[in-house]
């Protein structure tokens, strides 16, 4: 297996020495989608935010900079990404502005109605049961809460060859914009807005809990 294949395969659940390296590379390589994704939501300085599949923790760090009077939680089901995320956010954790936990989207370790915003960057592709997982996110969102999904890959004929190779390698789920709309509606979300950066194959979905 070549370096690219080895790298891509790690994205599902980065682990071990190479996984930590991949986590660090994603922290750097995902800055474009991170900034573009975050530009789709208004974030109050008091916001309580959860980032699901936080990987190396750079998104958590960026969100914490925007919420000096709030708190940002990151969860990931990879123990090694939890460790890396904690290292990257060490100072913010000491100031109680960030908390990182091991956890799975299918059973979030949080009470009902606690988050103003839940984000998922490059993560939903790997979730075990999309509709149930989206309902689980609804549970932890406040009634006024918002879900933001941002991805560097969606189903489009122009990128079909590359995307189908990745989907096979990673066993990842890739949808069209209409399919995003449909699965969010099926999970009970409202006011669903999809944006595409078609030339880069990037997509965001923003949806309200109620």
Ligand X SMILES: C[S@@+](CC[C@H](N)C(=O)[O-])C[C@H]1O[C@@H](n2cnc3c(N)ncnc32)[C@H](O)[C@@H]1O
How far apart are CB 109 and ligand X at their closest, in Å?
11
Question: What's the rounded Cα separation, in Å, for the pair 183 and 123?
Answer: 16
Per-position DSSP letters for 33-83, written without gaps between them? HHHHHHTTS---TT-EEEEET-TTSHHHHHHHHH-TTSEEEEEES-HHHHH
Region of 201 (left: φ > 0; alpha: ψ -120 to 50; beta: rest) is left
Binding span for ligand X by CB under 6 A among 49-57, 91-99, 134-142, 185-193: 49-57
Question: What's the rounded Cα separation, in Å, for the pair 166 and 45?
Answer: 37
At 190, which helix (H) or strand (E)?
strand 190-197
How far apart are CB 204 and ligand X at their closest, in Å?
13
- 77 sits near ligand X (criterion: CB under 6 A): yes
- 14 sits near ligand X (criterion: CB under 6 A): yes
- 21 sits near ligand X (criterion: CB under 6 A): no
126, two tokens: 């790997």
Quote helix, strand, coil % in the chain, to nearest 5: 45, 25, 30
Residue whose structure tokens are 């936990």: 101
CA atoms within 13 A on the CB side of 24: 8
Three-state secondary structure call for residue 73: strand
By CB under 6 A, the count of residues binding ligand X is 24
How far apart are CB 170 and ligand X at their closest, in Å?
9
- Choosing from 7, 8, 9, 13, the residue that interacts with ligand X (CB under 6 A) is 13
Nearest to 127 by CA among 152, 153, 106: 106
How far apart are CB 76 and ligand X at their closest, in Å?
5
- 105 sits near ligand X (criterion: CB under 6 A): yes
How far apart are CB 108 and ligand X at their closest, in Å?
9
153, two tokens: 């890959």
- Choosing from 48, 59, 61, 89, the residue that interacts with ligand X (CB under 6 A) is 59
- 81 sits near ligand X (criterion: CB under 6 A): yes
Q: Which is nearer to ligand X, 139 or 210 (CB)?
A: 139
Q: Which is nearer to ligand X, 74 or 145 (CB)?
A: 74
Chain centre distance of CA 140? 15
- Choosing from 61, 78, 151, 163, the residue that interacts with ligand X (CB under 6 A) is 78
State which of positions 149-208 bind ligand X (CB under 6 A).
none
Residues of the shown chain interacting with ligand X in the complex, contacts defined by CB under 6 A: 11, 13-14, 26, 30, 52-56, 59, 75-78, 81, 104-105, 121-123, 126-128
């Amino acid at each position: 297996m070549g370096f690219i294949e080895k790298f891509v395969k790690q994205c599902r659940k980065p682990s071990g020495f190479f996984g930590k390296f991949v986590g660090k590379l994603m922290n750097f390589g995902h800055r474009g989608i991170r900034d573009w994704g975050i530009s789709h939501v208004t974030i109050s300085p008091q916001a309580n935010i959860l980032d699901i599949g936080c990987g190396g923790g750079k998104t958590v760090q960026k969100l914490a900079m925007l919420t000096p009077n709030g708190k940002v939680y990151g969860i990931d089901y990879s123990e090694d990404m939890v460790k890396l995320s904690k290292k990257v956010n060490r100072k913010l954790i000491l100031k109680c502005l960030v908390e990182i936990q091991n956890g799975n989207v299918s059973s979030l370790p949080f009470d009902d109605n606690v988050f103003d915003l839940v984000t998922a960057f490059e993560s939903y592709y790997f979730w075990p049961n999309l509709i149930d997982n989206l309902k689980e996110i609804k549970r932890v969102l406040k009634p006024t809460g918002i879900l933001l999904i941002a991805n560097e890959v969606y189903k489009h004929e122009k990128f079909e060859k590359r995307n189908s190779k990745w989907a096979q390698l990673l066993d990842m789920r890739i949808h069209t914009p209409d399919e995003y709309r449909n699965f969010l509606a099926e999970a009970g979300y409202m006011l669903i807005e999809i944006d595409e950066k078609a030339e880069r194959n990037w997509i965001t979905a923003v949806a309200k809990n109620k």
